[in-house]
Structure 1
Amino acid sequence: MTLASRIEKIHCGTFDAEQYWRDPHLAKLPGLTDSENLRIVSVMDELLFTFCSPSETLITRKAMNRAHKQYLAEIGFRFQSNSFDLDGELKEQGKSMLQLLFETDTDMFALGNLAMENVELEPFAAIPFTREASERHGFVCRIPDMETIRKVNTKTYSTEMKERLDLPNISLIVNHSFELQEVGAKLLREGSFLIKDNYGVSGKGNLLIDSPSILERIIAYTASQEKKGKFSQFVVEPYLDKQTDFSCQFVIDEYGESRILSLQKLANDEFAYQESYTPEPEFVDFLERAGYFELMRSTAEQLYRDGYYGHVCVDSMQLKNGELVPLVEINARKSMSLIKNQMDQYLAPQELKGNLRYYSITSTNAGLQFIDLLTGMEEAGILYKQGQLAGIIPLTANTLTINRKPGKPYKGRIYVSMVGQHESARKEMHQRLNSLFAELSLQVLN
């Protein structure tokens, strides 16, 4: 497979899109800011190579690691990408990829003499500067109005959607610390409950309240922000005893037609995403009989009526008592599970399956290079090569070393696809990778 001489589409993205949708005057829930984690998330855009064909380009905040890109080409992923960092200065670290792209000179990312007319820009999520970057560089940009995008990505919108679809709804919207105190006290008498930030995502912005003292601290924290002129809006709901998290990915075109792309089961830890894996056929059949997929089509219709089109991921769950909660929240963007689906399509011709997961690590090895991990995986016989029945595909490289610093412990992360025909083979790969981490003096945190 050779690279095309004409670029048709550019992929790029910022994975913490929620922070760029959020109103700066909206009160926040308390939480620690982890600068190392923020830097890791900033280079997760490497994962978007999974959407690229030879006629498409991936533009990332940091240039992709050469060894990583060469390995991906060897197993069939061929695409163009930038060979330089877009955020060269410290002051640019807080800027989104779309803002960096907007501010980047055209000739800096044009790739050789490739034709760049009528190129479509496809972001992971449509955030501010998406349209501006497209207009500056002459890209085709098909996204809804930004205010619509902001609205449909709020937790309050998801709560209101349950009412519109006539679904059981235990979620409540509170708009002031006084309301939070009143509603929270009532819920706490029945048991633990969650407070959800309007733009919370993957473990950030979800607080479990299980005592009056914790509730009072949250109320005081919120009230102090309101005194400074901020406004509050949260969703609160009883904590449910769930058995399974899963999600459905679909896309709505500009004419309102929707298409279901994927269904994935999820493993979450403390509300944070950890792994996507393929559901059993019996589970998919159960959802079909329960009318789940028809409900997803109805959700798509409502989103389109409100002016939204594009990618959507709906989070759902099944409780331990068997009850289905089909709509937990709507994420109007691409998702980790959609990336997992892209890998499913890649593996399908080989009749293989893969689980998408990540490993958080800490290390003091300032000399660690991604190629050290890649070489170690190959020598251990766990690096996936075409034609093998099992192996591990490293999906990111910069996430591993972005925080590397001399003489100090630092955090890293590696996203992988655990490939195998059977779950037992994938579990074996997991165990062997953990052994390799130990050999490289990498301590796994999750």
Structure 2
Amino acid sequence: MTVTAHWGTFDAEAHWRPGDLAELPAVGNRQGRLQVESMDELLVCLCAPGDPLLTRHPVPQRLREAWHDAGLRPSWHQVRGDGATAETAILTDPEALAVVAGSAAVAPYAVLPATAALATATGHTGSLPPVATVARVNSKAFSDDLVHRLGLPGAGRVVASTAELRRAVEEIGGPAMVKDPYGVGGRGILEIRSPAVLETVIGFLQRQAGRRTELVVQPRWPKRADLSGYVRISRAGQVTPIGIQVAHHQGLSHTGFGPLPAGLLDADRYTETLLLAAAELAATGYTGPAGFDSLLCDDGGLIPILEINARVTVGMLSAALDDRAREHGLRACLWRTRLAVPDGAGVDDLLDELHRDGLLYRGGPEPGVLPLTGAALRPPRARLECALFCPPEETGRWRDRLRTAAGRMAAVLR
């Protein structure tokens, strides 16, 4: 059986971002290290049965059993090495290194400098795109340049000084979005609605002596929906569509992804645009998965490319689960929520409560909830990533039922 090894460093942008770039206020990563590292558990969504899934932290046995019952059956391995990335941790763990070396193919979350070193050490040299190319195409400056070259709506402006920043925001004449080239998940993105906020940002940048300015400025378009489209580019340059999802946000941070509602947009025309952009991406030498963040405006206009993520994305994971769910007459979406976790509680207690209410998804046509992360579900508060398998119109009800079950953990443990 051909197997593909999966692992991930989910703060990939930090490893592509040049060290001499000035930062926007609050651009730093506010997430705890454990929370970021344990997001590699989400890659279970892409694993075929028997595929090695390597994670930085132990995946609780009960959670692995729940995955298995739901049809997600990787060969799980804990990485016991250490390092700033999953790749450096694997390189310092002989057992994990052997797992990667023994796999027919590799599918990292993203290609970093350490990923290239790991590929060389395990005989997978040539299976990944050049790191310099990956870093280049993941910059929002590259995305904006591509929008200009293709003549697509939604073009912004790349600025290289505070004077250019002031001019670009003033020319928009309304709310503006200012983005770090390697900002992600709401970090490194600011909405500027007033001259006072603009001057505060400019002052912050000017105090970073010796660092260069590179920012992308775009209008703040009134939106009807956030969209994401996904493709895969083969080593031969062939582009294959993966799917389209609706992204759900709270502020600038995403809270989930779900199926595209019927009639929301012309999916064929949207896909044609993404294929055109993906061909340009392939021409740079990039191969692998790519996601395109898009915006459906209030007036029905479409901004097809806000930015490009040349890596695996959480939306792709949601699309992969949705493909599985369709086989059973259901749909799937990924949902992120924060839970109060009492002392002594963990994912096992959450699974107990879901099982008690008959909410735990076990595969097949019966709807349910499936936790996808567990290592970071620790007191006092934790972020849970989970999948909801149900008809799209019932998503809200299943979210409420999950919250109710999670809320009982505190009472049970008193």
Instruction: Pick the TM interval, shorter chain.
Output: over 0.9
Note the C-alpha offset of 1:361: 2.4
For residues 83 and 244 of structure 1, what CA distance do their matches in structure 2 show? 38
Native 8 Å contact 2:330 2:365 kept in 1: no
Match of 1:151 in 2: 136
Partners of 1:34 and 1:160 lie apart in 2 by 26
Aligned position for 1:324: 302
Q: 1:195: which partner in 2?
A: 178
Query: How do residues 276-287 of structure 1 correspond to structure 2 at under 5 angstroms?
Result: 276-283=257-264, 286-287=266-267
Match of 2:34, SS state, is helix
**Are 1:354 and 2:343 matched, yes or no?**
no
Identify the residue that residue 103 of structure 1 maps to in structure 2.
Answer: 92
Structure 1: state its 5+ residue gaps. Answer: 405-409
Written as runs of structure 1 = structure 2, the 5 A alignment for 1:120-139 is 120-139=105-124
Match of 1:69 in 2: 64
Aligned to 1:263: 244
Partner residue of 1:415? 385
Residues 232-311 of structure 1 mapped to structure 2, 5 A cutoff: 232-283=213-264, 286-288=266-268, 291-311=269-289
Moved more, 268-277 or 371-380: 268-277
What are the superposed Cα offsets for residues 157-185 of structure 1, whole Å, 9 maximum, x if unpaired? 11100111111344111001222123233
Percent sequence identity over matched residues? 27
Distance in 2, Cα, partners of 1:438 & 1:384 = 19
Taking a change above 3 Å as real, the CA distance of residues 348 and 52 of structure 1, as seen in their structure-2 partners, is same
Superposition map of 1:2-17 within 5 A: 8-17=3-12
Partners of 2:129 and 2:301 lie apart in 1 by 35
Give the conservation status (yes or no) of the 8 Å contact 1:252–1:309: yes
Does the aligned pair in 1 maintain the 2:90–2:97 contact within 8 Å? no
User: CA distance change for structure 1 residues 116 and 218 in 2, over 3 Å: closer, same or farther?
Assistant: closer
How far 1:38 moved relative to its partner? 4.0
Is 1:375 the counterpart of 2:352? The answer is yes
Give yes or no for contact 2:181–2:215 (8 Å, CA) kept in 1.
yes
Question: C-alpha displacement at 1:82, in angstroms?
Answer: 1.4
Aligned counterparts of 1:257 and 1:182: Cα–Cα separation in 2: 41
Matched AA of 1:222: L
**Residue 98 of structure 1: how far off its partner (Å):** 1.4
Q: Which runs of 5+ in 2 are unaligned?
A: none
Q: Contact between 1:120 and 1:140, CA under 8 Å: does it hold in 2?
A: no
Measured after TM superposition, the shift of residue 430 of structure 1 is 1.5
Corresponding letter in the other structure for 1:249: Y
Q: Structure 1 residue 432 and structure 2 residue 410: aligned?
A: no
Give 1:407's aligned residue.
none
Secondary structure at the counterpart of residue 236 of structure 2 = coil
Amino acid at match of 1:65: P
Whole-Å separation in 2 of the counterparts to 1:41 and 1:118? 25
- How far apart are residue 304 of structure 1 and its match? 1.3
Is the alpha carbon distance of 1:428 and 1:200 closer, same or farther for their aligned partners in structure 2, counting shifts above 3 Å?
A: same
| Alpha-carbon spacing, 1:34–1:315, altered in 2? closer, same or farther (3 Å) | closer
CA distance in 2: counterparts of 1:85 and 1:292, whole angstroms = 43
After superposing the two structures, state which structure 1 stretch, 431-440 or 238-247, moved more: 431-440
Shift of 1:270: 1.2
Deviation at 1:103, TM superposition (A): 2.6
For 1:32 and 1:199, locate their aligned partners in 2 and report how far apart those are by CA, in whole Å.
10
The separation in 1 between residues aligned to 2:130 and 2:76, in whole angstroms, is: 28
**Structure 2 counterpart of 1:220, from 199, 203, 206:** 203
Alpha-carbon distance between aligned partners in 2 of 1:267 and 1:77, rounded to the nearest angstrom: 25
CA RMSD, Structure 1 to Structure 2 (Å):
2.0
Alignment of 1:168-179 (within 5 A): 168-179=153-164
Q: Which residue of 2 aligns with 1:44?
A: 39
Shift of 1:411: 3.0
TM-score, normalised to structure 1, is 0.87
Say if 1:413 and 1:85 are closer, same or farther in 2 by CA, change over 3 A. farther
Cα deviation 1:404-441 (Å, max 9, x = unaligned): 4xxxxx331111111113523x3322111111222223
* Cα distance per residue 1:365-394 (max 9 Å; x no partner): 231121000011100111112345211011
What is the distance in 1 between the residues matched to 2:155 and 2:186? 20
Residue identity in the other structure for 2:132: E
Inter-partner Cα distance in structure 2 for 1:32 and 1:249: 26
Q: What's the offset of the Cα at 1:243? A: 0.9
Residue 392 of structure 1: which of 365, 369, 383 is its match?
369
- Matched to 1:412, the amino acid is A
Displacement of 1:344: 1.3
In 1: Cα distance, 2:375 partner to 2:275 partner = 37
SS in 2 for 1:186: helix
Write the distance in 2 (CA, Å) between the matches of 1:150 and 1:311: 14
How far residue 299 of structure 1 moved from its aligned partner, in angstroms, is 0.6
**How big is each residue's C-alpha offset from its partner over 1:40-97, in whole Å with a ceiling of 9 and x where there is no partner?**
122100010111123310111112111111121122222212145444xxxx4xx011
Match of 1:163 in 2: 148
> Could you tell me whether the CA contact under 8 Å between 2:27 and 2:188 is conserved in 1?
no
- Offset, 1:196: 0.5
Aligned to 1:209: 192
Name the residue aligned to 2:22: 27
Distance 1:208-1:54 versus aligned 2 partners, 3 A rule: same
Within 2, Cα distance between the matches of 1:387 and 1:235?
Answer: 45
User: Does residue 207 of structure 2 align to residue 230 of structure 1?
Assistant: no
One-letter amino acid of the structure 2 residue matched with residue 42 of structure 1: E
